[in-house]
Amino acid sequence: MDSTDTVSSGGSRTTLRGGRLGVIGVVFFVVAAAAPLVGMTGAVPVAIVLGNGAAAPGAYFVVGLTLLLFSVGYAAMSQRVTNAGAFFAYIGRGLGKHLGLGSAFVSLIAYVAIQLAIFGFFGGLMAGQIGALGLELPWWLWALIAWAVVTVLSLASVDVGAKVLGALMLLEVLSLMITAVAILIDGGPEGYDFAASFSPQAIMVGGLAGSAGIAFAFAFASFIGFEATAIYGEESKNPKRIVPQATYLAVALITALFAITAFALVTGMGASQAIETTAEYSSVDGVPLADPAAVLFTLATEYVGGWMATAMSILVLSSLFAGILAFQNAAGRYVFALGRGGVLPGRLGRVNAKGAPQNASLTTSAITVVVILLFTLFQLEPILNMFYWFSGLAVVAIVLIEALVCVAVIAYFRKNKGEEGVFTTVIAPVAAFIGLLIGEYLLMSRFGLLAGTTAEGVDPSVTPWGLSPLGWVLIALPFTVLLAGYLFSRVAGRENEEFIRDELT
């Protein structure tokens, strides 16, 4: 679909309003979705203690390079295809409409799941922080307040959301950079040890089946959301130029932010003592990693000042809110694309006067509020259950779809040759595909550690694949939905012309 206005038979516009976002606006959405401050407080300490220690920054750097290779073919496809359902549109063009439809539902599950995960984290963290100040309110109330605000913002013009995310993201990134620079200027107790963090032998310590694999798994989980650049193609000022630029810029920025800040944390503690000190800082009642955020906050206090730790504790909340808004927009645009293509009810493929996918966004909000209420009804934990379960599901689903996109890029450019070179159409997608397959294996084998769904009596930091029945259901769900969507598309035997035109022309 191009970005000109099209009108349905009922008189409603079915194209997102173009010309609203530039490169920076798209990058705001994507980096906000990656929530770097949340990753630094939640994932990096675990990657250090249970993963490859001082080489955790190197693991993030390697994953960033893998996703940069993925971005080469992904950006090339964005030159040919502009569609709010980027993943399924690309897979449909390269591998056929049946697999495209299956992947569409997997992508939708992924974005709704990660949004639900962040709702749980936000509600639980907000209840804890405000409760410490004397105002005891349940987590679900804070989650519902965020839900209401995000729903309203998702109905506004997309550039309004970009401005909100931009302000929040800049504060978040600034706090990380100030802390990292302060630590690196000081040099920490042992000075810089680049070999301990970035040498191949340090990064791979323990092997992919062991500690290195754990670090890579958490690194892959931290990058989720970067691929959303193409979703905003229709609403950008020049999608053929802006989407590729925003993709490369977003991946480079997220990679640099994680690698540099993680290296600063290691330097601040001393590379040789990184594991022990991280465990000490994050311990609660003698249990390591019970409070992983304390690692960053402690170092911020030591090298910058207590005010920075206080600011970061507030910015973690704003980072989570920004992530909710970013994924609300992403999920809404997937529902919109499926509605416009006739796979879901046609009214979901219409936009309001501000050019936002109103019905699709409201549908996404309806799904999320029902799940929040169900978790409340069954008295499930917002962080231990809602956050860990859904975030684990989401990252397995996203990496699966990214791997399929790599294959689709190769297939598409074999049939539709252009000016793109062999590196863009073959070498980079193949290399990224191999890296993503390894990443998917690591995510699934360590799913119990990521999602907290370990079988009774199993130590997930030592034993891979030791999952509870719920864990097996969650990792199987993306593959089951992909197969079910593919078979449904083939068996139904009805070719929806709108979907085919939207996806394959």
pLDDT digits (tens, 9 = 90+) for 193-216: 999 999 999 999 988 878 888 899
Structure confidence at residue 300 (pLDDT): 95
Q: How many residues does the chain have?
A: 505
Structure confidence at residue 343 (pLDDT): 77
Cβ(471)–Cβ(453) under 8 Å? yes
84-88, 117-121, 142-146, 419-423: range with highest mean pLDDT: 142-146
Lowest mean pLDDT among 6-15, 321-330, 355-364, 448-457: 6-15
| Residue labelled with tokens 């209420």 | 373
Average pLDDT over residues 415-433: 91
Structure confidence at residue 204 (pLDDT): 94
Structure confidence at residue 48 (pLDDT): 93
Q: Name the more confident of 424 and 19.
A: 424
pLDDT at residue 230 is higher than 90: no
Structure confidence at residue 162 (pLDDT): 59
Average pLDDT over residues 185-194: 93
Provide DSSP, 250-300. HHHHHHHHHHHHHHHHHHHH-GGGHHHHHHHHT-BTTBTTSSTHHHHHHHH
83-92, 312-321, 399-408: range with highest mean pLDDT: 399-408
Structure tokens at 468: 């509870």
Q: Interior CA angle at 21 toward 16 and 25, to 5°? A: 130
Share of the chain above pLDDT 90, in %: 43
Average pLDDT over residues 486-504: 62
Structure confidence at residue 368 (pLDDT): 95
Q: Name the more confident of 2 and 477.
A: 477
Give the pTM. Answer: 0.85
Structure confidence at residue 505 (pLDDT): 43
Cβ(268)–Cβ(48) under 8 Å? no
Cβ(294)–Cβ(195) under 8 Å? no
Average pLDDT over residues 218-244: 73
Chain mean position to CA 325: 13
Q: Per-residue b/e over 307-328, b at no fewer than 16 CB within 10 Å? A: ebbebbbebbbbbbbbbbbbbb
Lowest mean pLDDT among 18-32, 266-280, 361-375, 488-502: 488-502
End-to-end CA distance of the chain: 8
128-137, 156-165, 168-177, 190-199: range with highest mean pLDDT: 190-199
For the chain, the C-alpha Rg in angstroms (whole number) is 22
pLDDT at residue 499 is higher than 70: no
Lowest mean pLDDT among 131-145, 216-230, 488-502: 488-502
Lowest mean pLDDT among 87-96, 233-242, 246-255: 233-242
Structure confidence at residue 7 (pLDDT): 46
Q: CA 136 to CA 267: how far, in whole Å?
A: 38
3 pLDDT tier (thresholds 50, 70, 90): very low
Which has the closest alpha carbon to 503: 230, 19, 94, 229?
94
SS3 content of the chain, % helix, strand, coil (to 5): 75, 0, 25
Q: At what angle do helices 158-186 and 306-340 cross, to 10 degrees?
A: 140
Lowest mean pLDDT among 126-135, 163-172, 452-461, 488-497: 488-497
Average pLDDT over residues 80-96: 75
Q: How many CB atoms lie within 10 A of CB 82?
A: 21
Q: Kindly report the average pLDDT of the chain as a whole number.
A: 85
SS3 (DSSP) at 352: coil
For residue 303, what is the enclosing H or E element? helix 293-303
Cβ(360)–Cβ(335) under 8 Å? yes
Average pLDDT over residues 326-347: 83
| Residue labelled with tokens 């409340």 | 376
- Give the amino acid at 303: Y
pLDDT at residue 504 is higher than 50: no
20 pLDDT tier (thresholds 50, 70, 90): low
Q: CA 474 to CA 402: how far, in whole Å?
A: 18
Average pLDDT over residues 22-47: 79
Q: Name the more confident of 306 and 492.
A: 306
pLDDT at residue 160 is higher than 80: no
pLDDT at residue 452 is higher than 70: yes
373: Cβ contacts below 8 Å, ≥ 6 apart:
140
Q: Identify the burial level of 178 via C-beta atoms within 10 angstroms of its C-beta, where 0-12 means exposed, 13-18 middle and 19 or more buried.
A: middle
Q: How many CB atoms lie within 10 A of CB 163?
A: 12
Which has the closest alpha carbon to 475: 395, 402, 393?
393
Q: CA 485 to CA 87: how far, in whole Å?
A: 15
290: Cβ contacts below 8 Å, ≥ 6 apart:
282, 283, 284
Q: Name the more confident of 229 and 463.
A: 463
Structure confidence at residue 18 (pLDDT): 55
Structure confidence at residue 5 (pLDDT): 45
Q: CA 132 to CA 26: how far, in whole Å?
A: 36
Average pLDDT over residues 245-255: 86
User: For 188, phi and psi rounded to 5 degrees?
Assistant: 70, -175
Share of the chain above pLDDT 70, in %: 87
